[in-house]
């Protein structure tokens, strides 16, 4: 019951973030994470929200954090989890249950920056987060439009209204990222 309440809260806050991001009013609250162990704790907390749904659908989810991530990371945990929430729920919705062994992998890797202008600003790189699954897939021509409001890749499949991935895009771009 408590996990369902948290999921509803994520959905509600995420929609608020979507509209705030589109209006240029999204507030970012950066906090420093001081170790890989703490990062794993936060990711475990996030993935715990999906345990029941994953078990019911027979989907395995794994988290992989690259060893070369800096010990100090600065990010907005709430906004980051809102983005992950939409990507993971999309992976769950379109999992290929008929193919056996459905999986979702959340992967965090460090990408070093080589641009001298950016390096002078003190940035050494950024964390690239990937949500990888072995689901139905998305055709090349629909991949770009999928991240805009009310767009769906699989017509006729009633799995939502086309807001989740556009919300992930809006929050990602408002925080200076790319999706």
What pLDDT sits at residue 8?
A: 58
| Residue 78, helix vs strand vs coil | helix
- Alpha-carbon distance 50 to 4, whole Å? 9
Phi, psi of 114 (to 5 degrees): -110, -10
Place of tokens 């999921």: 7
Supply 72's token pair. Answer: 């100090």
H or E stretch at 14: helix 2-22
Give the Cβ contact number of residue 177 at 10 Å.
17
110 vs 161, residue with greater confidence? 110
Tens digit of each residue's pLDDT (9 = 90 or more) over 93-133: 888 777 778 899 999 998 888 877 766 777 778 889 999 99
Tens digit of each residue's pLDDT (9 = 90 or more) over 83-94: 899 899 888 888
What pLDDT sits at residue 13?
A: 55
Q: Are 86 and 167 in contact (CB under 8 A)?
A: yes
Handedness of CA 156, 10, 132, 145 (dihedral sign): positive
Res. 34 pLDDT band, cuts 50 70 90: confident
Place of tokens 């715990």: 48
Q: Which CATH class is domain 2-62+70-101+138-174?
A: alpha beta
What pLDDT sits at residue 23?
A: 61
All structural domains of the chain with their residue ranges: 2-62+70-101+138-174
Res. 157 pLDDT band, cuts 50 70 90: low
Angle of the 77-93 helix axis to the 36-48 helix axis, nearest 10: 50
- Alpha-carbon distance 129 to 18, whole Å? 19
What pLDDT sits at residue 159?
A: 60
135 vs 61, residue with greater confidence? 61
């Amino acid at each position: 019951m408590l996990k369902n309440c948290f999921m509803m809260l994520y959905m509600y806050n995420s929609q608020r973030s979507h509209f705030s991001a589109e209006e240029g009013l999204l507030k970012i609250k950066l906090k420093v994470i001081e170790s890989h162990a703490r990062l794993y704790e936060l990711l475990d907390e996030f993935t715990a929200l999906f345990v029941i749904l994953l078990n019911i659908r027979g989907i395995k989810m794994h988290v992989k954090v690259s060893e070369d991530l800096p010990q100090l990371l600065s990010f907005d945990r709430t906004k980051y989890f809102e983005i992950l929430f939409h990507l993971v729920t999309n992976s769950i919705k379109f999992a290929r249950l008929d193919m056996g062994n459905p999986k979702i992998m959340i992967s965090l890797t460090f990408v070093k920056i080589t641009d001298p202008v950016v390096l002078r600003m003190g940035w050494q790189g950024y964390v690239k987060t990937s949500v990888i699954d072995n689901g139905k897939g998305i055709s090349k021509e629909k991949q770009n439009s999928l991240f805009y409001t009310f767009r769906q890749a699989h017509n006729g499949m009633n799995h939502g209204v086309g807001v989740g991935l556009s919300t992930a895009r809006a929050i990602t771009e408002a925080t200076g990222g790319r999706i």
